[in-house]
Amino acid sequence: MTDAHVEAPFHELTPLHASETPYDEETLRSLHADADLVVARYPQKRSALLPLLHLIQSVDGYVTGRGVSFCAQKLELTDAEVSGVATFYTQYKRHPNGEYTVGVCTNTLCAVMGGDLIFDTLSEYLGIGHDETTPDGKVTLERVECNAACDYAPVVMANWEFIDNQTPASATQLVDDLRAGKEVRPTRGAARVCSFKHVSRVLAGFNDGLADEGVGAGGPSLEGLRLAKADGFDPYASSGEIRGDSDAESPADDMAPGLAGSTDTPANPADSKAGEKAGDK
């Protein structure tokens, strides 16, 4: 391992940073008050761990050692249990995250439409790689497996707000604007890109009132529905009515006895045996 690697704790496998600095009294009081609201939503305390980790990131900017200890004490878990969850999901950061996370989709469709080129361009332009942060602390760059917006490929997200139909040039302008502190307007969703800490608080379950500000589903997403309606298709009709057969068999009628729905877990042992017998025929 080189000295350069040791000095730059921005690698995705960096362990969680221990923190010798405790929360100040005011911050701790606020954390407890917010955490109590989150925990109250769940019948079991431990179920609140995921939103509480986002809450920690809204204060510290990443999952700190003191944040892990806070969650553990609040939920009556061990530090190891909390750390195991915090190091499993990529939305929980193990080191200081940038003010803006810029995620470039490089999954199949976005990749062939230019996603790989966009990522490579930004990586070279910013001088950082995947899950690394610019020296000014403004931008963390990520490869994203899928932004679930294939109809707008290639897609870039800034703190999980959609920036659609991107090119290397437009993506470069995006990071320039973010670093310069300019207001960036997503293509859809909220009317502006907010900071990583702000968004982390929303992910913890605190509404910021911005969800309905901007455009919702756009034209490409609704094109299939438009064509279906033009063809006389009623999406609210039953399967039998759609096929013009009011006596059409229910999909459940085609299943083996004892098996229903999309799972193969029987309701009871008797159902299981019935299903096995039907399958042996």
- Alpha-carbon distance 204 to 190, whole Å? 17
Alpha carbons 161 and 166: distance in angstroms, whole number:
13
Predicted TM-score (pTM) of the model is 0.74
How confident is the model at residue 270, as a pLDDT? 43
Quick check: 134 pLDDT over 70?
Answer: yes
Residue 6 has pLDDT above 80, yes or no: no
**C-alpha span between 231 and 182 (Å, rounded):** 45
Cα 99–80–93 angle (5° rounding)?
15
Name the helix (H) or strand (E) containing 140.
Answer: strand 139-144
User: pLDDT class for 269, splitting at 50, 70, 90?
Assistant: very low
> Could you read off the pLDDT of 47-103 as tens digits, one per residue?
999 999 999 999 999 999 999 999 999 999 999 999 999 999 989 999 999 999 999
Helix crossing, 65-75 with 79-86: angle to 10°? 120
Q: Which of 30-39, 72-81, 233-242 has the lowest mean pLDDT?
A: 233-242
| Sequence letter at residue 40 | A
Q: For the chain, what is the total number of helices (H) and then of strands (E)?
A: 12, 5
- Distances in Å between the Cα of 123 and the Cα atoms of 24, 43, 112, 186, 195 are 37, 44, 18, 21, 21
Integer Cα distance of 127 and 170 in angstroms: 18
Mean of pLDDT values over 167-182: 97
